[in-house]
Structure 1
Amino acid sequence: MAKPKIYKSKLGMLIEGNSIELLELDKEVAELKGKVNLIITSPPFPLNNKKQYGNEKGEEYLNWFIKLAPIFSDLLTEDGSLVIEIGNAWEPERPVQSLLHLECLFGLVKNPKSDLRLIQEFICYNPSKLPSPAQWVTVNRLRTVDSYTHVWWLAKNDFPKADNGKVLRPYSKSMQQLLKKQKYNAGKRPSEHHISEKGFLTDHGGSISHNFFEMEQIDGNREVRLPHSVLSFSNTASNDYFLTTCRKKKVVPHPARMSGGLVNFFTNFLTDEGDLVMDPFSGSNTTGYCAEKLKRKWVSFEVKHDYVKQAIIRFSEPDLNSPLTKLKA
């Protein structure tokens, strides 16, 4: 097997090549086993139509996905986590939602060659997603818009490294007032919960985050309280450095970029500075970019050279001051 091309920044490296083949066969890459604190990725979705970023379909996708379980399990530290974002699938030429994504999840946690379990599921809602599946939403108008993705948090044991105190949301205005007054109506509620007199009077710096990510505001009259650590840049943001530079260079950005807000949330939630973060299907390498900014070491893989070039654009951001440089053979 030919040696892969490697690009390095101050804290990480981007490897150009097929991640699964390299993780199984390349001796240097194999040294990562047992050292990765967080694998966070958005693998190619199980779509019915082929996309330019590459994706399997149907049974082939399921078999490919299940084979990832032992590879990822071997890479993780004992307290490490695996976070996967995946969209819904639909049956070919039918207005029927497929169970393929669920079969993929079951395949991960039931694979006898690994020891993964689902810690928690998150939902990522993005109202800017184009209407899909188009045939059944905009043409025949039989279904509603598929506007969310699943985010699965898995691990090798029941207690992976995690601290929700690092991803707190700002307090609501009513909670801020309560903390200021240091008094509220305690006692028994209709739900039969008993609220103590001082249970809500301690200022913890914010409220515990929810497992629902609102990538854009649903209700314009309601305040959205994102965790302090989340950089809120969605795939529709047109004013950040990466997209601006792509436009100038007439480069078409990767069509399925992972949200930097998601990456930041889980990186802060599940790792510490200096930990190792990996993305085996990195595209334009949002994961590596976020890890670099958050002072984590990182390793990313991308098989398509056009997307590697986009990652180089992302890392050329002057404020980052950590360009991706190709290592000489």
Structure 2
Amino acid sequence: MLPKKNQPPAYFTRHGETFIGDSRDLLAAQPDGSVNLVMTSPPFALQRQKEYGNLAEREYVDWFLGFAKIVHQKLRDDGSFVVDFGGAYMKGTPTRSLYNFRVLIRMIDELGFHLAEEFYWFNPSKLPSPIEWVNKRKIRVKDSVNTVWWFSKTEWPKADVTKVLAPYSERMKKLIEDPEKFYTPKMRPSGHDIGKSFGKDNGGAIPPNLIQIPNTESNGLYLAGCKTVGIKGHPARFPAKLPEFFVKMLTDPGDLVVDIFGGSNTTGQVSEAEGRRWLTFEALPEYVAASSFRFLPKGTTPESMKDVYNQIVSGKSVDLEHYRAQAELSLTS
């Protein structure tokens, strides 16, 4: 799975590899038609400069399409490209930027992608922002929803909603137990006849395209490792349940999942747990080194965490399975 013949991964696990570099170059070296899913959250087109890098809005759309063009080449015909975009305001005014919608239109009109479906990620724990319009002047509500575009290479991408069914409500559970007691089938005003199948247990409810996931991770090995090494965690991590939803729905075990803006490598962590092969590309060595903590087992010593981090930053390729084996050996001895 090596993207470049002479470039080893920064670290690797049983199912995947992480590389340091420009994902346009790294992805270009992957065979055409080999990727099942690209799941990513790129730096947003924000007016306020972030430490992980972002471009002015006018430059952003052209910049992003440079990556998307290569993604289109590498996807299988039934593959998908899922992108999480945060909202933004125009500079100096309380009016919304349309950059994420401009990306959407140009992806379809210029690159030949199809919009399989639009999703909206609602983060109820998001802090009130932007400060100027929400906190100070109080003329806007807080921005708590990201747009998540599900693009496909053809009109018929691989997908199975039964893999991401939502738990039934208590009322629905009672209906399934005794349909005749709680529901009488009848014709809707639209002419649609629901019938008795409405009370059938299908294992869960069809989820909506509004995904509610709080982004409140405050513990875990990743942040613990960052604290141990004395660095800050990635400032724009998305919660594991977001990529998990799409990895489960759009891929099967053994499929290849790629994240072209790896950050703290949440996508790789989820793909590993779900038995998918994965590749992650990230330009900043420090972020890559810290993301390795997601794959170290519980019980990894602070010394081992520091050792892994320093090796990756110095340019060495690290086999994380070695540290996993070490941790398991220490637990049994």
Over 3 Å counting, the alpha-carbon distance change for 1:195 and 1:246 in structure 2 is same
- Aligned-partner SS, 2:89: coil
In structure 2, what is the Cα distance between the partners aligned to 1:279 and 1:42?
Answer: 8
Shift of 1:5: 5.2
When the two structures are aligned, how many residues end up with a matched partner?
300
CA-CA distance at 1:139 after TM superposition: 1.9
1:140 counterpart residue number? 137
Letter aligned with residue 139 of structure 1:
K
Equivalent position amino acid for 1:123 in 2:
Y
Which runs of 5 or more residues in structure 1 are unaligned? 25-29, 217-233
Provide the secondary structure at the position in 2 that maps to 1:91: coil
Match of 1:14 among 11, 18, 33: 18
Q: CA deviation at 1:193?
A: 3.4
Contact 1:242 1:317 in 2 (8 A): no
Once residues 238 and 219 of structure 2 are traced to their aligned partners in structure 1, the CA distance between those partners, rounded to angstroms, is 17
* Deviation readout 1:140-184 (Å, 9 max, x if unpaired): 222111111011100011110000011111111111111111422
Amino acid across the alignment from 2:277: K
Q: Give the CA deviation at 1:13.
A: 0.5
Gaps of 5+ in 2: 319-333
For residues 29-56 of structure 1, what are the alpha-carbon distances to aligned partners after superposition, in whole Å with 9 as ceiling and x for unaligned?
A: x233210000000011000122111111
2:324 is matched with none
Partner of 1:162: 159
Residues of 1 paired with 2:7 and 2:52: CA distance?
Answer: 19
Counterpart position of 1:242: 222
* Residue identity matched to 2:317: L
Distance 2:99 2:220 in 1: 35
CA distance in 2, matches of 1:21, 1:295: 26
Query: Which range moves more in the overlay, 185-194 or 78-87?
Result: 185-194
Equivalent residue for 2:150?
153
TM-score of the aligned structures, taking structure 1 as reference length? 0.85
User: 1:175 & 1:292 partners in 2: Cα distance?
Assistant: 34
Equivalent residue number for residue 213 of structure 1: 211
CA distance in 2, matches of 1:145, 1:315: 34
TM-score, length of structure 2 as denominator length: 0.84
| 1:149 aligned counterpart, secondary structure | strand
Task: Please identify which structure carries the higher helix content.
Answer: 2
Moved more, 33-42 or 65-74: 65-74
Residue 317 (structure 2) aligns with: 327
Q: Which residues of 2 match residues 119-268 of structure 1 at below 5 A?
A: 119-183=116-180, 184-190=183-189, 192-196=191-195, 198-216=196-214, 234=215, 236-268=216-248
Please tell me whether the aligned partners of residues 19 and 302 of structure 1 are also in contact (alpha carbons under 8 angstroms): yes
| 2:263 alignment counterpart | 283
* 1:222 match: none
Residue 3 (structure 1) shift:
5.5
Structure 1 equivalent of residue 322 of structure 2: none
Distance 1:108 1:214, change over 3 A: same
Deviations along 1:65-123, one digit per CA (max 9) or x if unpaired, are 12223211001001000000001121111111111111111111111xx3211110111
1:53-68 mapped onto 2 (5 Å cutoff) = 53-68=52-67
For the residue of structure 2 that corresponds to 1:97, the secondary structure is: coil
What is the CA–CA distance in structure 2 between the aligned matches of 1:290 and 1:282, rounded to whole Å?
12
CA contact (8 A) 1:238 1:244 kept: no
Which amino acid in 1 is paired with 2:245? F
| Cα root mean square deviation, aligned | 2.2
Aligned to 1:300: 280
Q: Aligned equivalents of 1:288 and 1:2: distance in 2?
A: 22
Instruction: Find the aligned partners of 2:36 and 2:266 in 1 and give their Cα distance.
Output: 17
Q: Report the CA distance shift for 1:319/1:115 in structure 2 as closer, same or farther (over 3 A).
A: farther
* Sequence identity percentage: 40
User: Of 281, 298, 311, which aligns to 1:318?
Assistant: 298
Runs of 4+ in 1 over 4 A off after TM superposition: 1-5, 323-326
CA–CA distance in 1 between the matches of 2:159 and 2:175?
28
